[in-house]
Structure 1
């Protein structure tokens, strides 16, 4: 496995972990996956920071074992530079689709791969 393939696979693994309610509801698990400089533009149009996500994620939809879950599909990734991976994919959450993009960065071996930026864009019903 090449270093680039390994980097993409690790970023994808982190992204998938963040769709797991067991991870989303446990700060000790999810805080390791977010870069301290994290920023998100959510599918709602709202902007979130690292601090926002630390407080918001456990109570957000998709964080409950018994509730709806994010179903990701067609995840692809590319290494933009050493230590920087760009992922794109689509999610379905309780019938609502969104196209998503994330930047994952690795600054050192100790911290590993962490989500640096994320954006979600709603897909209107009937759109391809």
Structure 2
């Protein structure tokens, strides 16, 4: 490699449970003269705030990279990895995968990509909270769920039934207590779009695939006391012929 050449920078993304794969790929790329950026383990005792800060730090690594390379096993992509892929695409980064045949998720948007326009920070923050109630840290308690939902929150389910805030909190709390959530391997989002309805109101829409079922999702977010909380959520099942 010429002393004047600028080495290529590659950022690795994926679950740190795959540490041996990260190490192997880092060594392989380094031997090829590539500068490798990768997440670092912060140990098991990490608070939700610290985890969020580490996630933001890794997005800055992606900003510095020429290419984002996904480390995975068995095709599994967790919520954090999916968010990083979405972010990398919004920044025009080259995407590649260590695992042969890995189908990187479709994260196309009908509106401006995350990271552009006057509302980019708001859109990025809210996308990181969707799909609603599925992205809380493992073992989240009732207080964490309450902080996500506005005091006036209501949900219209696929059955067209209306669910109160207390009912939703009870159900979601049980899922996290039983370890059912978070289960990032069962769902994927696509066709994300955001609309700033008012200064403190933002409408987020997307398609959610859970196993073999697709639904159209809409969340209205309201900002109060400097924090965004879900005010209304609705999910409508798609007939097979309407699912792209």
Q: Is the 8 A contact 1:14 1:113 kept in 2?
A: no
Query: 1:28 deviation in Å?
Result: 3.0
Larger Rg: 2
Is it true that 1:10 corresponds to 2:10 in the alignment? Answer: no
Deviations along 1:63-114, one digit per CA (max 9) or x if unpaired, are 43569633222221111100100000010112110001110010222xx000
Shift >6 Å, 4+ stretches: none
Whichever structure has more strand as a proportion of its residues is 1
Q: How many residues align?
A: 126
Higher relative contact order, structure no. (Cα contacts within 8 Å, ≥ 6 residues apart): 1
- Show structure 1 runs of 5+ residues with no match: none
TM-score w.r.t. the length of structure 1 is: 0.81
Whichever structure has more helix as a proportion of its residues is 2
Superposition RMSD on alpha carbons, in Å?
Answer: 2.7
Q: Is the 8 A contact 1:39 1:116 kept in 2?
A: yes
Provide closer, same or farther for how the CA distance between residues 42 and 122 of structure 1 changes in structure 2, counting only shifts above 3 A. Answer: same
- Show structure 2 runs of 5+ residues with no match: 1-115
SS of 2:130's partner is helix
Q: Is the 8 A contact 2:200 2:222 kept in 1?
A: yes
Provide closer, same or farther for how the CA distance between residues 57 and 87 of structure 1 changes in structure 2, counting only shifts above 3 A. Answer: same
